[in-house]
Amino acid sequence: MGAGIDVMQPAYPSGFCAGNKKRPQGMNLALWLERAGRSHPGQPAAGYGNRVARSYGELAQRAARLAGALRNQLHLTPGDRVVIAAQNCVEYLDVLYAIWHAGLAAVPANAKLHGTELGYILEHSHAKVCFASPNIDAAIAAHAPATLQRLLTIGSAEYETLLQADAVAVTLREPHDLAWLFYTSGTTGRPKGAMLSHRALYWASHAYAAEVDAIAPGDALVHAAPMSHGSGLYIMAHTARLGIHVVPESGGFEPEEIFTLFTHWPRPSMFAAPTMIRRLLDCRADCDANGIRTIISGGAPLYVEDAIEALDRFGPCLAQIYGQGESPMTITTLSKQDIAQRNDPRWQARLASVGRPFACVDVMVAGAQEQPMPAGKSGEILCRGDVVMAGYWQDPQASAATLRNGWLHTGDVGAFDDHGYLTLKDRSKDLIISGGSNIYPREVEEVLLKHPQVREASVIGRPDREWGEIVVAYIVGTAKPDELDALCLSQIARFKRPKGYVFVPSLPKNNYGKILKTELRALDTGRPLRFPDSSSSA
C-alpha cells in the first residue's frame, strides 16, 4: 500500500479538503472501492479458482459503468431496491458495488431458494430490478411480481451491454440510508428484511478488521459460504483493505477445492458455518495449514470438540463470531488468541463460549423485566449499537417487538461468566422444560459429540403427558444408546440426559448449514425411540 494511504478512514466526497471546517454530509460503501480503484488500479481485486479475474481498477470501472446504466438507462432513483439472486461468482462484486455506487439499496437473496420464495422477496422489497444467475432466472421469471421492471441474467448479452454505459460518479447517501436489505433465513414463517444502513455496515466492517481478522493488502478471502449472507458481509472490509476476493470454480463449498485455494492464494481467510468446518475436518485431502490466516466460524455455535479438532488440524487460525442478520456478524467474538491459548486454566470453558462483546456494541443478558442478570445467570441476550438494524422492512409490528427500549432482543438465551465471556444456551424457543426443570439442548449436544462414533447430534423436546417434555436426541453416527447414556451420566445431571435416541443418516438443515430444529420437531411426531438397555421406557 502506498505511503500515507489508509483505505479504512471515513469516506469523504472527492475534493473534500481536510482544512474545511464544514463536515461533509453523506457516505457510501462504494467509495471504498472507488478509492481503491484510483490509488491501486493494478492491485488484484478478485480471483476465480486459481487465476486473477479483476484488478481494482477494472472492478471500480465496471461498477461505475453498471451504475450509470442503472441510473440513466433503467431510470432507477436513489433508494430503489435491486435484488441479487445469484450463486457465488466474480460478477457478484460488479453488481453489488454498482448498486451502491448508484445510490440504490442491495437485496442479496439466497440463490438456493425456491422460485416462489424469491418471488416473495421481490414483491415484499418492491424491487424494480433483479440480477440473476443463468441457471435460476427462469424460476424467478415464473414467480416475478408485476412490480419487477427488469430481470437481468448475469453474463448475458444484455448484461454485457449495460457494462458499456458511461460511468457516473458515486451517489452520496446519508449514513442512515438503506444499503443492504438482509432477509432472514425464514425457518419459521415468512422471512423478514432487516434494514442495514451504510453506517451499520461501515461499523461492522471496521469491527471485523479490528477484532476478528486483521487484513493486509493482497490477503485473500475465499467465498465458499453464500455471498448473499455470511461471506458477503465481509466483502466491504476486504475491499477497503485491498484484499482479494476469491470465488471457487464450483461456486460453493467443496472441501478438496477449498484446500487447493488455501494453498494457492496468499494468507487466505474464509467464513464457514460449523457444519462446513466439520466437513473440512472430515476431508482427508492434503492441506497446507501454515498459510491460513483465519477460519471464521459463525451462523451457529461451534461445538467444543470440533473447535479442538480444528485447532489440532489447522493450527491457531480459528476465530468465532456471534451475530444475527439484525446485527450483522457483530455481537460477540472469540478471538484466535483465546481459542489457541491452551495453557489458560479457563481454556475449555472459553471454547464453549462465543467470546466477548465487540467494542462497537453494548450487550446485556436480561431477565424478564429487562434487568441485567449477574454473571452465571441466564437470560435473553440484548444488543445495541450503530451496527444494529433500523428495523424490519414494511413490518412495524415485528420491528417494535424486536427493537424495544433501545435494545435488539435477539431471542437467544445466554449467560456471561465472571470474566465477561458470553455462553449461548439456546434459542429461547428451543428450551426444553421437563418435570419443571430447564434443559438447554446445546449442553447435552456438547456431551454427545464427545463420542467418537457421533458425527452430528441435535436434541429436542418431545411432548409427554407425565413430564411435559422429554429429551430426545437425534444422532448421525454408529454409537450405541448404552454408550451415549453412560457418557451423559458421567458429565451432566441425570435429568438432562436423553430419554431415547433416534438414529438418522442426516439432520435437516437450511441452505446455510443450520440444523432446523423446527423441522426436526415436526418430523419427530410418533417416531420410535431406541433406549439404553437399562431403560424400560421413555
* Structure confidence at residue 189 (pLDDT): 58
Sheet of 244-247: strand order equals: 51-55, 44-48, 244-247, 220-222, 269-272, 294-297, 318-324, 327-334, 356-357
Within a domain: 362 = yes
Question: How far is the CA of 491 from the CAs of 55, 366, 389, 466, in angstroms?
Answer: 54, 28, 40, 25
d(CA 67, CA 402): 34
Q: Where would I find the H helices in 55-197?
A: 56-72, 91-101, 115-125, 137-143, 157-162
Range scoring the smallest mean pLDDT among 271-275, 328-332, 409-413, 436-440 = 436-440
Summarised one tens digit per residue, pLDDT across range 63-72 is 999 999 999 9
Summarised one tens digit per residue, pLDDT across range 481-528 is 999 999 999 988 788 899 999 999 999 987 667 788 888 988 898 888
Residue 436 has pLDDT above 90, yes or no: no
Question: How far is the CA of 501 from the CAs of 116, 140, 457, 477, 515, in angstroms?
Answer: 36, 41, 10, 11, 17
Given pLDDT bands bounded at 50, 70 and 90, which one contains residue 91? very high
Given pLDDT bands bounded at 50, 70 and 90, which one contains residue 260? very high
Question: How far is the CA of 290 from the CAs of 262, 283, 293, 453, in angstroms?
Answer: 10, 17, 8, 29
**Residue 55: which CATH number?**
3.40.50.12780
**497 and 386, same domain (yes or no):** no
Residue 4 has pLDDT above 70, yes or no: no
* Structure confidence at residue 435 (pLDDT): 72
Residue 231 has pLDDT above 80, yes or no: yes
Query: pTM for the full model?
Result: 0.82
**225 and 356, same domain (yes or no):** yes
**192 and 267, same domain (yes or no):** yes
Q: Which residue from 230, 211, 424, 217 is spatially nearest to 336, judged by alpha carbons?
A: 211
**381 and 461, same domain (yes or no):** no
d(CA 27, CA 21): 18
Domain count, the chain: 2
Q: Tell me the mean pLDDT in the region 147-166.
A: 97
Within a domain: 288 = yes
Q: Which domain holds residue 136?
A: 30-416
d(CA 4, CA 310): 38
Within a domain: 197 = yes
Beta strands at 178-183 and 193-197: parallel, antiparallel or unpaired: antiparallel
**519 and 379, same domain (yes or no):** no
What are φ and ψ of residue 465, in 5° steps?
A: -65, -40
Within a domain: 14 = no
**484 and 518, same domain (yes or no):** yes
**102 and 134, same domain (yes or no):** yes
**504 and 402, same domain (yes or no):** no
* Structure confidence at residue 438 (pLDDT): 73
**What is the number of alpha carbons within 13 Å of residue 425 lying toward its C-beta?**
23
**337 and 261, same domain (yes or no):** yes
**193 and 341, same domain (yes or no):** yes
- The sign one gets for the Cα dihedral 316, 318, 321, 325 is positive
Q: Which residue from 357, 359, 280 is spatially nearest to 317, judged by alpha carbons?
A: 280
Find out whether 431 and 413 touch, Cβ atoms under 8 Å. Answer: yes
What are φ and ψ of residue 58, in 5° steps?
A: -65, -45
Grid cell at residue 326? 439484525
Within a domain: 21 = no
What DSSP letter does each residue of 70-102 carry, written as one string? HHHTS---TT-EEEEE--S-THHHHHHHHHHHT
**354 and 471, same domain (yes or no):** no
Domain boundary among 357, 387, 416: 416
Within a domain: 423 = no
Q: Tell me the mean pLDDT in the region 38-57.
A: 98
**180 and 217, same domain (yes or no):** yes
* Structure confidence at residue 185 (pLDDT): 62
Burial 225-255 (b: 16+ CB within 10 A, else e): bbbbbbbbbbbbbbbbbbbbbbbbeebbbbb
Residue 13 has pLDDT above 90, yes or no: no
Domain boundary among 416, 441, 458: 416
DSSP code, position 383: E
